[in-house]
A and B are shown apart, each in its own frame.
Chain A
Amino acid sequence: MAKKEEILDAAKKAAEVIKEKVEQVANDPQVQEVVAAAKEKATEMAEKVAETAQAVAEEIQARAEKVAERAEVKEAVKAATEAAQKAGKAAKAAAEVMATPSEKNVKVITPEMAKIPAGPLELKWTNYKNHQKLVNPANKRRLDVIVVGTGLAGASAAASLAEMGFNVLNFCIQDSPRRAHSIAAQGGINAAKNYQNDGDSVYRLYYDTIKGGDYRAREANVYRLAEVSNNIIDQCVAQGVPFAREYGGLLDNRSFGGAQVSRTFYAKGQTGQQLLLGAYSALSRQIGKGKVKMYTRYEMLDIVLIPDENGEKRARGIIARNLVTGRIERFFAHAVVVGSGGYGNTFFLSTNAMASNGSAAMQMYRHGALFANPCYAQIHPTCIPKHGDFQSKLTLMSESLRNDGRIWVPKKLEDAKRLQAGEIKGRDIPEEDRDYYLERRYPAFGNLVPRDVASRAAKERCDKGFGVNNTGLAVFLDFSDAIQRLGKDVVAQKYGNLFQMYEKIVDENPYENPMMIFPAIHYTMGGIWVDYELQTTVKGLFCIGEANFSDHGANRLGASALMQGLADGYFVLPYTIQNYLADQIGVPRMSTDLPEFAEAEKAVQDKIDRLMAIKGNRSVDSIHKELGLIMWDFVGMGRTAEGLKEGIKKIDAIKKEFWTNVYIPGEANSLNNELEKALRLADFIEIGRLMAVDALHREESCGGHFREEYQTPEGEALRQDDKFAYVGCWK
């Protein structure tokens, strides 16, 4: 009879565990800006509970069956099975209840919570600075700040904080802080200098940025961005950044992205490089002085939160992996600043660098920082197309090419097929058999339709089978008309360097044969939600640059990414973080032996061990490529409710495949690139799902999010301002 009691006991305990879990979920406050947003998360959590219940029930049944042969326990088996089934039913019911959206699951973020200062727009930043708390020089020496990332935002923040007197610990995954992907930005940086006397102003830059973002950005932040844009140019020139100049010795500007004024400063086609090297110089100076301790080839794997005396959790350090030795190390600081860039590599193929990743964002998210607008991803129409499965990344070609190039595909499917087979070239197709589809569909704008329209139109033609390269995923950008009209020399003068770059990569002469282009993921506007101070919903955890969500709304204007990164790093965060740190001066440096550090490290180690132990049959890249294709097909340029639902299912399947069938060679405690990639891919899968879920809930089209159900008869984005003007935050 002992057995019988044991089984009953087990069933009882299981039921209790389930009940507890259900309650836990039910009591978890869902901090979200919208009702609909809560639904998905609740469903997901409830499903988890149901799964647990199911598993427990099955286990009990299995255990019970083992002893079922003995007559005296038959009764017990029955009881246990019933108990388990009841528990399962209860959990399922709970899941259904929670899956229904309710006001309880949603929290609206008010301007007060976002800490937007009072007063008129143009005085908010001034007022803030006049009244914010500051830290005196003696106290700055006692405060440590961790900065993760050395791109424009991270490097400029680390350098500026160190100059002020804080002790900075700066981390990057590359071998040098100079290699962050900001370095690859080509075009330029905007500022409201009005050096060209063409009517530019802080207000105009602000207005253009808001409008460009489809009215989805936070106005107070954007106005501040426009205000400090001028300081950035001054700062960079003082650092020795060799901006392009006029013959009179003054700075030159170019126009960009349809703005009516010329406000873009540039350094050849390497503006990002020069600005980053400026910030890197400033950072190097502080490293030399010992004010910044630089950790290269280190990757943050978690953020450590420690409760203060009131029980409120605050970011107090990080767990990072030394990528050379594989050792997991602990670092303390009074505050943590993350400038880790965007998550475009969720798509595997993008214009991002190979190591660009969204793991830092996911670590913040898992600790309760809100992920805002994950679905906003910018797609650039003029990239060099994919040419094979081995392709590792996509290269951006300046959009200026569309000023003189004409975009077309063949009219006849058989011509497209022969192009795809490599039997003919673009120039072999006679004029009357060419479909200049942009000019046909949008006679007013022609080839200069907005980025998103051009991208979608290309995809539409290729989906119908009219693609012109071996993968069937490319359209022609033809300069033969321009060459006839302007002469080859003029075309070469304007676009020579781009033509040369194209020829190096594709091995085709674009003067003789039309260029091939295709859209690619370029930048992510979504990111971690931050308040006006760039602080996340986790106290002491700040997020800057592309990693946060605040300034670009649903779409980013050309030459504004560099501006935002440097604005955050040089001129915003070093001020706003003091408002937080001023209250931390009494907090002594903490030991990294504290249990919170130990637990965080153990969780990281467990995750790594779990990954290493899978020993399946798939390489990390092969799974990442599969995820990328799903993202592109279902969460890409043209999204539909049906497609997104399908995509979510497929992403879930990929997740399962990854966690059961990935193979990572080598050891965890040594240099291991495959392990690094696996850890990042685990997070890309989660981000991909989050993007899809957000895209599904946002029933409108705006900026970098296009739902096919919501478009004008001309195929342009149709916003639903009455319903979706808000920022969609996920917890």
Chain B
Amino acid sequence: MDQYIDIKVRVWRQAGPKAQGHFETYDLKHVFQGASFLEMIDILNEQLVAQHKDPVTYDHDCREGICGMCSMYVNGHPHGPDSAITTCQLHMRKFKDGETITVEPWRSRAFPVIKDLMVDRGAYDKIMQAGGFVSVNTGGVPDANAIPIPKPVADEAMDAASCIGCGACAAACKNGSAMLFVAAKVSQLALLPQGKIEAAARAKAMVAKMDELGFGNCTNTGACAAECPKSVSLANIARLNREFLAAKFKD
């Protein structure tokens, strides 16, 4: 049964990209455990606004775990201490009365802090722009049922495609690698006949862009998949490596 709890929230405050950041601890009394984690931050912000202080800036939008906007490190874990969820799906019943909760922004060189808990994830968009698509224009495409695709293949592509681009994988990785994100897109499209044609070029272009943007290398530690809110599988990274090597051999 959900109770009311008193907590302390230790939040990373940083006025701007170049400002010196620091932790600030706030007391929050009488927080209902049925509230979501972001609703708790809302309560904190209402409290700060009432004191005419600057509220905590953080990214959030759909609050049902699909937009990929929320991006908080809670008690040392991207999206917090629960598996297969985003921060917005985390509830206060995961925390105890009297607990101090530490909240930080994504930790990754490629995701610089904009303010407080808000980071710039534009690097993921740039990787997508380098090759995360099938080169077809609107119109003039064949009938949707012209090419049958085996159900297991379609299902596997769907699992890879469920990535929400939140950045937890890169934030969780000790090397700051975006491999799981890149692998998910490369896999999805390489599995499907529509995407196969450009598979090699895509893998090369996306990996090159990832390297260029300052993401680290993959050393197969698996932290990314463990923290991924959509449970995107490490098998995708193996597939990306295959696609990438095959492309290099062809060169």
Q: Which residues of A contact B18 (CB under 8 A)?
A: none
Q: Is there contact, CB below 8 Å, between B69 and A619?
A: no
A175-B161 CB under 8 A given contacts A184-B62, A184-B66: no
CB <8 Å contact, A176 and B122:
yes
Contact B62 A183 (CB under 8 A): yes
Most A-side CB within 10 Å, residue of B50, B60, B66, B91: B66
A163 touches B91 (CB 8 A): no
A404 to B54 CA separation, bound complex (whole angstroms): 49
| Contact residues in B for A280 (Cβ distance below 8 Å) | 128
Known: A247-B151, A353-B67. A270 touches B162 (CB 8 A): yes
Residue numbers in B under 8 Å from A239 (CB-CB): 133-134, 136, 194
Closest chain B residue to A252, Cβ basis: B151
Cβ of A344 under 8 Å from chain B = no
For A388-410 the 0/1 string (1 means CB < 8 A from B) is: 10111101100000000000000
Task: Tell me the residues in window 63-121 of chain B with beta carbons closer than 8 Å to chain A beta carbons.
Answer: 63-64, 66-69, 85, 89, 91, 93, 114-115, 118, 120-121
User: Does A138 sit within 8 A of B, measured CB to CB?
Assistant: no
Residues in B neighbouring A247, C-beta threshold 8 A:
151
Q: Which of A219-227, A284-292, A599-607 contacts B (4 or more CB under 8 A)?
A: A284-292
Q: Is the CB of B63 within 8 A of A285?
A: no
Instruction: Return the contact of B129 from the options A233, A236, A285 (Cβ within 8 A).
Output: A285
Q: Is B226's beta carbon under 8 Å from chain A? A: no
Chain A residues near B34 (CB, 8 Å)? Answer: 387-388, 506-507
Complex interface: chain B residues within 8 A of A273 (CB): 66, 162, 164
Judging by beta carbons under 8 Å apart, are A183 and B91 in contact? no
**Interface check B233, CB cutoff 8 A:** no
Per the bound structure, the CA–CA distance linking A665 and B50 in Å amounts to 9
Q: Please, how many angstroms separate the alpha-carbon atoms of A622 and B32 in the complex?
A: 18
Select one of A156, A277, A294, A396 contacting B161, CB under 8 A.
Answer: A277
Q: Which of A156, A175, A285 contacts B121 (CB 8 A)?
A: A175
Judged by a CB distance under 8 angstroms, whether B132 is at the interface is: yes
Contact B46 A504 (CB under 8 A): no
Q: What CA separation (Å) do A273 and B141 show in the bound complex? A: 22
| Listed stretches B142-150, B210-218, B241-249; interface member | B142-150
Q: How far is the CA of A387 from the CA of B68 in the complex (A)?
A: 24
B38 CB within 8 Å of chain A:
yes
Known interface pairs A619-B46, A619-B50; A245-B151 also in contact (CB < 8 Å): yes
Chain A's interface size range is: 35 or more
Q: Which residues of B contact A109 (CB under 8 A)?
A: none
A665 with B52, Cβ < 8 A, contacts A249-B148, A274-B161, A281-B134 known: yes
Q: Hey, which chain A residues are within 8 Å of B142, CB to CB? A: 234, 238
Q: Which residues of A contact B151 (CB under 8 A)?
A: 245-247, 249
Q: Chain B residues near A240 (CB, 8 Å)?
A: 133-134, 157, 188-189, 192, 194-195
Select which of B68, B134, B155 is within 8 A of A238 by beta carbon: B134
A196 to chain B, nearest CB (A): 11
In the assembled complex, how far is the CB of residue A629 from the closest CB belonging to chain B, in whole angstroms? 17
Interface flag for A354 (CB, 8 Å):
yes
CA distance in complex: A249, B149 (Å): 4
A174-B69, A244-B154, A354-B60 as given contacts; A574 in contact with B141, CB under 8 Å: no
Measured CB to CB, the nearest residue on chain B to A159 is B138
* A248, CB-defined interface residue at 8 Å: yes
Find the B residue at minimum CB distance from A241: B161
A281 near B35: Cβ-Cβ < 8 Å: no
Which residues of chain B have C-beta atoms less than 8 A from A179's C-beta? Answer: 61-62, 67-69
Closest to B125 in A: A176
Contact between A507 and B93, CB atoms less than 8 A apart: yes
Q: Mark A139-164, 1 if CB is under 8 A from B, else 0.
A: 00000000000000000100110010
Within 8 A of B (CB), among A38-92: none
Q: A249-B151, A281-B128 are in contact. Are A390 and B133 (CB under 8 A)?
A: no
Instruction: Assess the B133–A282 pair: CB atoms within 8 A.
Output: yes
Does B165 have its Cβ within 8 Å of any Cβ on chain A? yes
> Is the CB–CB distance between A281 and B63 below 8 Å?
no
A203-211, A666-674, A683-691, A712-720: which lies at the B interface?
A666-674
- B7 CB-CB contact with A under 8 Å: no
- B148 lies within 8 A of A234 (CB): no
- The residue in chain A whose Cβ has the minimal distance to the Cβ of B190 is A240
Q: Contact mask B143-184 → A, CB, 8 Å, 1/0?
A: 111001111001101100110110000000000000000000
Residue A195 interfacial (CB < 8 Å): yes
Residue in B67, B154, B157 whose CB lies within 8 Å of A181: B67
Beyond known contacts A284-B125, A505-B36, A665-B55: 16 more, CB 8 A cutoff: A160-B137, A175-B121, A177-B125, A179-B62, A237-B144, A242-B192, A243-B144, A245-B149, A268-B158, A274-B161, A280-B128, A281-B134, A354-B62, A505-B91, A507-B33, A671-B114
